[in-house]
Amino acid sequence: MLGLFIVLEGIDGSGKTTQAKKLVNFLRSRGRRVWLTREPTDGSIGREIRRHLQAKDIDNESLQKLFLQDRREHVREINSKLREGYDVVCDRYTLSTIAYGSLNIAIEKLKKLNKEFLKPDITIIIDVEPEIAFRRITRARSRNEYFDTLSKLARVRQAYLSLQDFYPNTFLVDGSKSIEECWEEIRRIVQNFLQPASCCN
Ligand code: ADP
Ligand code: TYD
């Protein structure tokens, strides 16, 4: 049986990585096999992207092209894990390219470019005010990356809000709540997809 493909999205500092780990633990506690992954990936293109994010030495259009290349390889791996029966929990995916890319590129073009990729079964957008996210990331990081300015995060957040209908089964979660409250919302969403089919026939 195919595993579930679950994607977490949201601006930097929204809490994706924190919630992804909780989700993995939860799914494993239910006896499921889980693969936690992320974009940019840990592969060679992903590593190149991380260098550019730090160095800020590339324009956004070229950067998003690298993300698309990274994703093409990543989706092959995701597909094979799903076929082996693993649930795949992915920290960022297509909506990141569309939302961050839209700072400099027409959003319709970005949507078209991302249609080719495998659709997630569940997409969770963690929505948080940029001021809160910005405070969190400046506390957690020594230096700001490519997109970590308040005004950019505010625009990316609006783009995410406009993307709720890009995939079916997309859910908006309030990321300004505590880690545990936020997790409770996510757990409830995912739980609904784990329910066994009707027991009584
Ligand atoms: P992202 O992966 O979206 O950038 P992280 O999960 O890495 O976000 O969280 C960024 C920082 O904010 C971390 O220091 C984390 O502990 C903290 N954090 C995450 N979620 C919350 C929350 N709901 N409330 C307060 N702090 C949080
Ligand atoms: P990451 O470390 O994942 O960010 P976070 O702070 O959320 O953990 O860094 C990835 C950065 O790259 C982040 O600013 C979002 C951006 N990005 C894109 O611009 N396009 C994409 O397709 C992806 C996957 C990420």
Can you give the residue ranges of every domain in the chain?
5-191
At 5-62, the pLDDT tens digits run: 999 999 999 999 999 999 999 999 999 999 999 999 999 999 999 999 999 999 999 9
Q: Are 49 and 40 a contacting pair, CB within 8 Å?
A: yes
Ligand closest in space to the Cα of 159: 2
Q: Whose CA is nearest to atom 23 of ligand 1?
A: 179
Q: What are phi and psi of 128, to 5 degrees?
A: -150, 150
Give the residue, out of 62, 92, 114, with the most ligand 2 atoms within 8 A of its beta carbon, to mutate for a pocket test: 92
Please give the pLDDT value at position 201.
Answer: 42
C-alpha distances in Å from residue 181, one per residue of 51, 64, 171 = 34, 33, 15
**Which residues lie closer than 8 Å to 120 by C-beta, 6 or more apart?**
5, 6, 7, 90, 93, 167, 169
Give the residue, out of 18, 38, 100, 184, with the most ligand 1 atoms within 8 A of its beta carbon, to mutate for a pocket test: 18
Strands 122-127 and 87-91: unpaired
Q: Which ligand 1 atom lies nearest to the CA of residue 179?
A: 23
- What distance in Å separates the CA atoms of residue 114 and residue 10, rounded to the nearest whole number? 17
96 lines ligand 2 (CB under 6 A): yes
159 pLDDT above the threshold of 70: yes
Ligand closest in space to the Cα of 128: 1
At 68-85, the pLDDT tens digits run: 999 999 999 999 999 999
At 115-158, the pLDDT tens digits run: 999 999 999 999 999 999 999 998 877 666 899 899 999 999 99
DSSP per position, 62-102: HHHHHHHHHHHHHHHHHHHHHHTT-EEEEES-HHHHHHHHT
63 pLDDT above the threshold of 60: yes
Helix (H), strand (E) counts: the chain: 8, 5
Tokens representing 25 are 């633990």
Burial (CB < 10 A; 0-12, 13-18, 19+), residue 84, is exposed
pLDDT tier, 92 (very low <50, low <70, confident <90, very high otherwise) = very high
pLDDT tier, 198 (very low <50, low <70, confident <90, very high otherwise) = very low
Q: Whose CA is nearest to atom 9 of ligand 1?
A: 15
Residue showing tokens 């929204």: 14
Please give the pLDDT value at position 129.
Answer: 98
- What distance in Å separates the CA atoms of residue 6 and residue 164, rounded to the nearest whole number? 15
53 lines ligand 2 (CB under 6 A): yes
Radius of gyration, alpha carbons of the chain: 17
* Yes or no: domain 5-191 corresponds to CATH 1.10.1040.10: no
